[in-house]
Chain A
């Protein structure tokens, strides 16, 4: 199977779906003439033209809002926010409108919009540009919130997002664009709202997603050298949140560590741990551990920043505490 990058996977998904469905258009800052600040849409403007690859002013409220409005009007817009940190500027559009219009008007309106935004830290962009606020969006019923961690999932989930009628926050990771993985050449989709076992194991359950999948797999491989077999479950979607594979795994391993890049307080780990306690209390052999970002705004200095973001060593340490 061919190996492609996470960037190429997303780019291919957009390209193939645009070729297949004329209702799809792209809009965002510097996606056209520039080719995308992360080069995801390089070549799109020349091929699809300015009507389908719309450069916008720096106006996140109306980028998100007009994409939602065009979706109401029957199009399938993909709005690109340059980073998910700018989604805060468009927050009301996403959580008060994309998430609610279908419900609030009794099913009269549909909002088949995809809002793409890269997030995550580790690139020395300081506090406002390095966040992982995925859970904030996942708090709201009515949205799909997905964050693939592999090129395969990125391509399959984006294609699926463009073939269904609900608003999707499609959260990419800025430091994954260069990562490579196997992706089949033909057409395929990956369901939204389905977790996936990325590495089988019997001793401990690692629950993670997005960039932290890499960290968790790395940790699992190191643990295997010591004879500890970790099962790694990739959530892939935060809403809907599919925890059945987690519960099944936990009933086997009786131990879990949850690994996320965002802050621990009120985070993915808090949610997954609480639900696992509720559903699997009789199977519990040790307190569930959470590995997450230190509760500080991420600083510019490289060493300081790196010290706040979870590493494989943090995961290994947590696993050894629950064993």
Chain B
């Protein structure tokens, strides 16, 4: 990996963190409505996965989607505008936080019904196979999604039809406030893939380079016609499930323990410890990111609301 690649990943992770902090403030100010699910703590998973994608690859995720949006290269202002419901947002203010997408960047959302994007990913993989392309789709999901029927139908069909898909679980230990042990018959999620004879692996989702490498291997497996691969990234969200989470289900000590493995802090130490970058360079990136976040919020706040007629647009194609 080139130094510039390292710095790009570092910048993306810091940018996600800063934007999420701004989002939380904007939510508390009442400028962001609905639900807001922050990605803080999980940055290495989305950034690592997206970094492994080739230009022909695609990605789809659930409602905790801000990190993936930034990782695939969505402009921060466009994302922030969507959170504020503005006409300049990626979904023209009609989707909000849970429904970010940029199809031009092969990012298919942003889906808020748990597990429902798994059949959609299956179908996108069907389209790649049908067109004899060498595209692969990464389908990210939370650990909670592995308990829903969609998961099982999708994994089964992906194996039967040998579809080019990487199933990627972001195991952050909780489905909302319920621990894996209280919700899932098996706590090592990747074992669920064994039932469908889908090759699988576990990766440290707090380590961006390990996640990137594991995703790259998974993508090549799926690309070479071997069918799906299943990757479980172990991670943790430092904030609540959503902004309305009283967090009665976990102790501060637990959060503190995971924060010692902060994916950004770890990567920072790796970059300086391995002499890939010096402190001043990383400080400079953080300053750039701070300015970018400020500009993104300004762009979003200054953007217009969708016009009234937008209510009736895009219900049907050509109608």
- Chain A positions within 8 Å of B, measured between CB atoms, are 25, 51, 54, 56-57, 59, 61-62, 64-75, 77, 92-93, 96-97, 101-110, 112, 141-142, 144, 164-166
Chain B residues with Cβ under 8 A from A103's Cβ?
94, 314-315
CA distance A102 to B113 in the complex (A): 16
Q: How near does chain B come to A123, taking the closest CB pair, in angstroms? A: 28
Given contacts A57-B157, A62-B154, A92-B116, contact A72 B315 (CB under 8 A): no
Is A102 a contact partner of B314 (Cβ separation < 8 A)? Answer: yes
Is B116 a contact partner of A107 (Cβ separation < 8 A)? Answer: no
Chain A residue at smallest Cβ distance from B123: A69
Chain B residues with Cβ under 8 A from A62's Cβ?
118-119, 122, 150, 153-154, 156-157
CA distance A192 to B107 in the complex (A): 32
CA distance A68 to B153 in the complex (A): 15
Q: List 10 A-B contacts (CB under 8 A).
A: A56-B157, A57-B157, A62-B157, A68-B123, A75-B130, A77-B123, A104-B94, A105-B103, A106-B95, A109-B101
Is A75 a contact partner of B126 (Cβ separation < 8 A)? Answer: yes
List the 3 shortest-distance A-B pairs measured between CB atoms, nearest first: A69-B123, A65-B119, A73-B127
Chain A residue at smallest Cβ distance from B133: A73
Is residue B27 within 8 Å, beta carbon to beta carbon, of the partner chain? no
Is residue B185 within 8 Å, beta carbon to beta carbon, of the partner chain? no
Chain B residues with Cβ under 8 A from A69's Cβ?
119-127
Partner of A107, one of B120, B154, B314: B314
CA distance A104 to B160 in the complex (A): 31
Is B130 a contact partner of A59 (Cβ separation < 8 A)? Answer: no
CB 8 Å contact bits of B104-145 with A (1 = contact, 0 = none): 000011100100101111111111101100000000000000
Give the interface SS of chain A, mostly helix, strand, loop or mixed: mixed
Is B123 a contact partner of A66 (Cβ separation < 8 A)? Answer: yes
Given contacts A73-B128, A105-B99, contact A65 B120 (CB under 8 A): yes
CA distance A25 to B131 in the complex (A): 11
Is B108 a contact partner of A72 (Cβ separation < 8 A)? Answer: yes
CA distance A54 to B91 in the complex (A): 33
CB 8 Å contact bits of B140-180 with A (1 = contact, 0 = none): 00000000011001101100110000000000000000000
Told that A57-B156, A72-B123, A105-B110 touch, could you supply 18 new A-B pairs with CB distance under 8 A?
A57-B157, A59-B156, A62-B157, A68-B120, A70-B130, A71-B123, A73-B123, A77-B126, A97-B120, A101-B109, A104-B94, A106-B92, A106-B314, A108-B102, A108-B103, A109-B103, A141-B315, A164-B318
Chain B residue at smallest Cβ distance from A59: B153
CA distance A96 to B127 in the complex (A): 21
Is residue B1 within 8 Å, beta carbon to beta carbon, of the partner chain? no
Is B317 a contact partner of A165 (Cβ separation < 8 A)? Answer: yes
Is B95 a contact partner of A105 (Cβ separation < 8 A)? Answer: yes
Given contacts A70-B127, A71-B123, A106-B94, contact A164 B157 (CB under 8 A): no
Chain B residues with Cβ under 8 A from A65's Cβ?
116, 118-120, 122-123, 150, 153-154
Is A51 a contact partner of B149 (Cβ separation < 8 A)? Answer: no
Of A66, A92, A104, A107, most buried by chain B (CB within 10 Å of CB) is A66
Of A67, A72, A97, A165, most buried by chain B (CB within 10 Å of CB) is A72
Query: Number of residues in B with C-beta < 8 Å to the partner?
Result: 44
- Chain B positions within 8 Å of A, measured between CB atoms, are 89-95, 99, 101-103, 108-110, 113, 116, 118-128, 130-131, 149-150, 153-154, 156-157, 160-161, 313-319
Is A109 a contact partner of B108 (Cβ separation < 8 A)? Answer: yes
Is A74 a contact partner of B315 (Cβ separation < 8 A)? Answer: no
Given contacts A59-B157, A61-B153, A62-B150, contact A67 B315 (CB under 8 A): no
CA distance A112 to B113 in the complex (A): 21
Is A105 a contact partner of B317 (Cβ separation < 8 A)? Answer: no
Chain B residue at smallest Cβ distance from A111: B317
Is B123 a contact partner of A165 (Cβ separation < 8 A)? Answer: no
Of A73, A92, A112, most buried by chain B (CB within 10 Å of CB) is A73
Is B119 a contact partner of A68 (Cβ separation < 8 A)? Answer: yes
Of A67, A106, A165, most buried by chain B (CB within 10 Å of CB) is A106
Q: How near does chain B come to A18, taking the closest CB pair, in angstroms? A: 13
Given contacts A62-B154, A73-B128, A108-B102, contact A102 B119 (CB under 8 A): no
Of A74, A92, A101, A102, most buried by chain B (CB within 10 Å of CB) is A101
CA distance A104 to B154 in the complex (A): 23
Partner of A110, one of B116, B154, B317: B317
Chain A residues with Cβ under 8 A from B91's Cβ?
104-106, 108
Chain A residues with Cβ under 8 A from B102's Cβ?
108
Partner of B319, one of A54, A101, A166: A166
Chain B residues with Cβ under 8 A from A141's Cβ?
315
Given contacts A61-B150, A104-B95, contact A72 B120 (CB under 8 A): yes
Chain A residues with Cβ under 8 A from B125's Cβ?
69
Chain B residues with Cβ under 8 A from A166's Cβ?
316-317, 319
Given contacts A62-B157, A66-B123, A108-B102, contact A96 B116 (CB under 8 A): yes
Chain A residue at smallest Cβ distance from B130: A75
CA distance A73 to B121 in the complex (A): 10
Chain A residue at smallest Cβ distance from B87: A106
Is B119 a contact partner of A142 (Cβ separation < 8 A)? Answer: no
Q: How near does chain A come to B2, taking the closest CB pair, in angstroms? A: 32
Given contacts A51-B130, A57-B160, A103-B315, contact A73 B124 (CB under 8 A): yes
CA distance A59 to B126 in the complex (A): 15
Is B109 a contact partner of A105 (Cβ separation < 8 A)? Answer: yes
Chain A residues with Cβ under 8 A from B316's Cβ?
102, 142, 144, 166
CA distance A96 to B160 in the complex (A): 26
Is B315 a contact partner of A64 (Cβ separation < 8 A)? Answer: no
